[in-house]
Chains A and B, each alone.
Chain A
Amino acid sequence: MRLYVVKRLAQALGVLWAAYTVSFLVLDYLPGDPVSAMAGAGADTGQVDPAQLAALRHEYGFDKPILAQYADYLGRAVRGDFGDSVSTGRPVTATLADALPQTLQLTGAALLLAVFLGGGLAVLATYTTRRWLRQLLLSLPPLGVSVPTFWVGLVLVELFSFRTRLFPAFGNDGLRGLVLPAVTLAVPTGALVAQVLAKSLFTALDQAYVETARAKGAGRLRIRLRHALRNASLPALTVVGLLAGQLIAGSVVVETVFSRDGLGRVTAAAVTVQDIPLVQGVVVFGALIFVAANLIVDLVYPLLDPRIVVAASRKVRPA
């Protein structure tokens, strides 16, 4: 078991390093640089003294050779220092720390909704004996996955804010302000959970142990919740790990549509002005969340299915 954990941790670190390096290279490859972006934002037809731009570049270290910049940034990043945002001058870590609670609130609420609604839909679809209802329920997840998130957001705002005025259309204010964004973000996420869970539930219900349970006189609901769901939840759990990444990505769109503060907005703004230190910080942080979520999922697997550790241990001990 310990070896299993160590191996997973090493993998996680590798993913973090790769995310950092790839994003660094991509940002470096992009034409333009943050300094001219900053100057261009308020400039009249680019009447900026090139010498002043050079001075700014020097101040931020953008004039150093690319490898030196990389080593410099990576060295500090390892110690948790991502430098200062080019556009605001604030430390990147402080900017992220300010934005994080808002995004955690949003993604947490969305994930809860997604798991309960998506899971509920899957169980209901396998439980019902009415064919039309099953068809209807099973057709919802593909729809939820395929409609664009911002469209869902705009429709919800139109119906529940502009027309009925039940919820505010923008801002971070309180629980009421959280409802529409969380539902919006939960739609594609919940749909994915439902799709995967429904499929594996159907598979599980064909298994022999379900026959056994049925023969012992277990009820339909009990078979689903007590026996099949536990086995069927493994694939769904894998998906939940992936969803952490999807939720963070989705927050870029949802936070923009609902004018919420958070990591998504920070990301969108940072990319627009090529604020390299901030984008790097966001990428590493996003990767960290993604890696952590998957690590947790990996560590929960054995609890649900002891066979996983046994298999993993055998693989790493070939002698």
Chain B
Amino acid sequence: MTAHPDSRTPRWAALAALVTGSLVLSACSSSGSGSSSGEGGSPKPGGTLTFAVGSDAGCVDPQQVGSNDTIYSLRQVVDSLTDQDPKTGKIVPWLAKSWDISSDTTTFTFHLRSGVTFSDGTPLTAQVVKDNFDAVPKLGALGTLAQGYLSGVESTTAVDPLTVRVRFQQPNAQFLQATATHSLGIESSASVHRSPQEKCSKGVVGSGPFVLSAYVQNQSITLAKRAEYAWGSSLWTKQGEAYLDKLVFKVVPEAGVRTGSLQSGQVDAIGSVGRANEAALKGGAVNLQARANPGVVFNLGLNNSRPLFKDAKVRQAILFAIDRQQIVDAVFPTGTEPATSILAHTTPDYAYLGSDLAFDAAKAKSLLDAAGWKAGSDGVRVKDGKKLSLTVKWFANAATNQPALELIQQQLKAVGVEVVLKQLQIAQFSPTLQSGDFDAVWGNVTRADPDILRSSYSTRLANFYHLPAGPLDTALTRQAATTDAAKRKQLVTQAQQLIVKNAYVVPVVELQTQLGVAKKVHNLDFEASSRIQLHDTWIG
């Protein structure tokens, strides 16, 4: 649940689109052809990039923030030990020039780059990394992402000034990818020793290519280039400092205003472009950039402990009754892909299972017949006097949730399954999962490592969906304990197959992050978690 396009104003966004759609359409006739992003001309240093995002998390500490809109800016302030190649999913050097992992994946030793300094002038040492990793678990519920990556940590030791060793109680292969995330971005010693609240309101000192120069809550985050920066990720094309002098992230909650501001040149780039705003932006001096978020796709998370869902045939019938392409075409931004596994296709070790997720209403009906659910008088199937009905709980954290679920409701009705939709406050998301009081919940999880399957579906962890213990556990536990890439891929593939074939949960559609970027902005690139890096970005 980390990526919420348009989390605050889905209703307004839709209304605004209806109301101003025609106005906006006619307003975008100007502008010539222009070259496409990333090409044309040679990079020019200097300039200010103004980026409009939809929300403000109320906090400027990358270790505590989980919302994309705020990660876009904070990612530029901190460096991570490693980076992840968005094309291959491979982990590559950044602050750590190399690392060793014990064969049981419990111990990770990082060899740090020398000469790295934080913007307060202090050097990066093994002790600073240790301070960070010691402090993160204490964030607790304030930094769920970061502390989750370090859960089960036994100790972090500064072996020598530039070597740091992290030891876990259990095998923990996911930790290497976790060191590439913004959540485990390294902050200076002074920052680490501040209280979480203080870090939230005053910001942190990092070693990144940009420095936080101003934060006005609900208004803007301003970053300035750090001239002496010389330790970029091995993935970046430019050496040394960034091209841009200044980055200004404006909080513009209304989707229609973001769109119009980009068209009229008041901003250079915008986040959370929905389907309704696409038409207005196409054909102008704007490029739409999109990338699927890695991790668990949007799915109906079934509660496997409910009597109804103990029967695999019922779960599978729901899986086959959903026409994913229709949902994509009707609701989601152009280019969004229907789920072809429980993992999105941008996740490392994703396996294509599209044929197992193909729409087949006839098969769904025969499965339900075989399970003893017979057609009732009102079209809803019955068995032993009970109706085949389930309640799907959902949360208003994406504008697409409601229309997607209403379509699913119709599709399931066609095979005789009644779906009741119940919207809950976002605040109730965790309590609902923890209490187990649900038939099904609608949600996704962004994570660029397949270990998200273990945290979501292993019966040895929280097991919110009450899966039965079985071979899936074995596959999930073993993938977390292997350093052999080929073997891990094989185990992760097996886990995906088990989840999809058993329909423990019902994968539906991938989440796609879509940005609108003015054509004069070049190399504004997605990183592996479908957030952005702005070191290589230039305006020309």
Closest to B426 in A: A40
Query: Is A34 in the interface zone, CB < 8 Å from B?
Result: yes
Query: Is B12 in the interface zone, CB < 8 Å from A?
Result: yes
Query: Is A88 in the interface zone, CB < 8 Å from B?
Result: yes
Q: Are B197 and A88 in contact, with the CB atoms below 8 A?
A: yes
Q: CA–CA, A261 to B1, complex, Å?
A: 27
**B330 to chain A: which residues have CB within 8 Å?**
none
Query: Is B379 in the interface zone, CB < 8 Å from A?
Result: no
**A44 to chain B: which residues have CB within 8 Å?**
1-2, 66, 144-145, 148, 445-447, 452, 455
Q: Which of B41-91 contact A (CB under 8 A)?
A: 52, 56-59, 64-67
Q: CA–CA, A52 to B146, complex, Å?
A: 14
Q: Are A43 and B431 in contact, with the CB atoms below 8 A?
A: no
Q: Are A46 and B434 in contact, with the CB atoms below 8 A?
A: yes
Closest to A95 in B: B217
Q: Which of A51-66 contact B (CB under 8 A)?
A: 52-53, 55-56
Q: Are B200 and A88 in contact, with the CB atoms below 8 A?
A: yes
Query: Is B485 in the interface zone, CB < 8 Å from A?
Result: no
Query: Known contacts A40-B427, A256-B9: does B19 contact A151 (CB below 8 Å)?
Result: yes
Q: Are A45 and B464 in contact, with the CB atoms below 8 A?
A: yes
**A256 to chain B: which residues have CB within 8 Å?**
9, 12, 253-254
Q: Are B141 and A33 in contact, with the CB atoms below 8 A?
A: no
Q: Are A40 and B429 in contact, with the CB atoms below 8 A?
A: yes
Per-position binary interface string of chain A over residues 137-171, scored 1 when its CB falls under 8 Å from any chain B CB and 0 otherwise:
00000000000001100110110011101001111
Closest to A85 in B: B58
Which one of B261-269, B302-310, B471-479 is at the interface? B261-269
Query: Known contacts A42-B65, A257-B254, A259-B253: does B24 contact A52 (CB below 8 Å)?
Result: no
Query: Is A266 in the interface zone, CB < 8 Å from B?
Result: yes
**B425 to chain A: which residues have CB within 8 Å?**
30-32, 37, 274
Query: Is B250 in the interface zone, CB < 8 Å from A?
Result: yes
Query: Is A90 in the interface zone, CB < 8 Å from B?
Result: yes
Residues of B whose CB lies within 8 Å of any CB of A are 1-2, 8-9, 12, 15-16, 19-20, 23-24, 27, 52, 56-59, 64-67, 140-145, 148, 195-198, 200-201, 216-220, 250-254, 256-257, 260-261, 263-264, 266, 296, 424-434, 443, 445-447, 452, 455-456, 462, 464
Give the shortest distance, in Å, between A136 (CB) and chain B (any CB): 25
Query: Is A50 in the interface zone, CB < 8 Å from B?
Result: yes
Give the shortest distance, in Å, between B142 (CB) and chain A (any CB): 7
- Can you name 9 extra interface pairs (CB under 8 A) apart from A87-B59, A154-B20, A161-B261? A42-B67, A43-B145, A56-B142, A88-B201, A154-B16, A162-B263, A171-B220, A259-B251, A259-B254
Give the shortest distance, in Å, between B393 (CB) and chain A (any CB): 12
Closest to B430 in A: A46
**A53 to chain B: which residues have CB within 8 Å?**
141, 430
Q: Are A259 and B264 in contact, with the CB atoms below 8 A?
A: no
Give the shortest distance, in Å, between A257 (CB) and chain B (any CB): 5
Q: CA–CA, A48 to B141, complex, Å?
A: 6
Closest to A268 in B: B8
Q: Are B257 and A272 in contact, with the CB atoms below 8 A?
A: no
Query: Known contacts A53-B141, A88-B217, A171-B250: does B427 contact A42 (CB below 8 Å)?
Result: no
Closest to B447 in A: A44
Give the shortest distance, in Å, between A307 (CB) and chain B (any CB): 47
Give the shortest distance, in Å, between A183 (CB) and chain B (any CB): 16
Give the shortest distance, in Å, between B65 (CB) and chain A (any CB): 6
**B296 to chain A: which residues have CB within 8 Å?**
45
Q: Are A48 and B59 in contact, with the CB atoms below 8 A?
A: no
Query: Known contacts A46-B434, A261-B218: does B257 contact A157 (CB below 8 Å)?
Result: yes
Q: Are A32 and B427 in contact, with the CB atoms below 8 A?
A: yes
**A172 to chain B: which residues have CB within 8 Å?**
219
Q: Could you pull out 10 A-B pairs where Cβ atoms are within 8 angstroms?
A: A42-B57, A43-B430, A44-B66, A45-B455, A46-B464, A89-B195, A89-B196, A161-B264, A169-B261, A272-B8
Q: Which has the most chain A C-beta neighbours within 10 Å: B52, B143, B197, B428?
A: B428
Query: Is A35 in the interface zone, CB < 8 Å from B?
Result: yes
Q: CA–CA, A55 to B12, complex, Å?
A: 36
Sorted nearest first, the 5 A-B pairs with minimum C-beta distance are A42-B66, A89-B197, A46-B430, A37-B427, A32-B427
Query: Is A229 in the interface zone, CB < 8 Å from B?
Result: no
Query: Known contacts A41-B57, A169-B260: does B1 contact A32 (CB below 8 Å)?
Result: no
Query: Is A273 in the interface zone, CB < 8 Å from B?
Result: yes
Give the shortest distance, in Å, between A48 (CB) and chain B (any CB): 5
Closest to A42 in B: B66
Q: Are A49 and B140 in contact, with the CB atoms below 8 A?
A: yes
Q: CA–CA, A158 to B430, complex, Å?
A: 40
Q: Are A161 and B266 in contact, with the CB atoms below 8 A?
A: yes
User: Which of A47, A151, A259 contacts B148, CB < 8 Å?
Assistant: A47
**A238 to chain B: which residues have CB within 8 Å?**
none
Per-position binary interface string of chain A over residues 8-51, scored 1 when its CB falls under 8 Å from any chain B CB and 0 otherwise:
00000000000000000000001111111111111111111110
User: Which of A30, A38, A158, A161 contacts B141, CB < 8 Å?
Assistant: A38
Per-position binary interface string of chain A over residues 258-279, scored 1 when its CB falls under 8 Å from any chain B CB and 0 otherwise:
1101000110110011100000
Q: Are B260 and A150 in contact, with the CB atoms below 8 A?
A: no
Q: CA–CA, A30 to B65, complex, Å?
A: 25
Query: Known contacts A44-B148, A89-B201, A256-B253: does B20 contact A150 (CB below 8 Å)?
Result: no
Give the shortest distance, in Å, between A203 (CB) and chain B (any CB): 38
**B145 to chain A: which residues have CB within 8 Å?**
42-44
Give the shortest distance, in Å, between A57 (CB) and chain B (any CB): 10
Q: CA–CA, A35 to B266, complex, Å?
A: 37
Closest to B217 in A: A88
Give the shortest distance, in Å, between B391 (CB) and chain A (any CB): 15
Closest to A164 in B: B264
Q: Are B141 and A52 in contact, with the CB atoms below 8 A?
A: yes
Closest to B64 in A: A42
Q: Are A36 and B431 in contact, with the CB atoms below 8 A?
A: yes
Q: CA–CA, A55 to B138, complex, Å?
A: 11
**A40 to chain B: which residues have CB within 8 Å?**
1, 426-430
Query: Known contacts A45-B456, A56-B140, A172-B219: does B27 contact A158 (CB below 8 Å)?
Result: yes
Q: Are A42 and B2 in contact, with the CB atoms below 8 A?
A: yes
**B264 to chain A: which residues have CB within 8 Å?**
161-163, 165, 169
Q: Which has the most chain A C-beta neighbours within 10 Å: B58, B59, B65?
A: B58
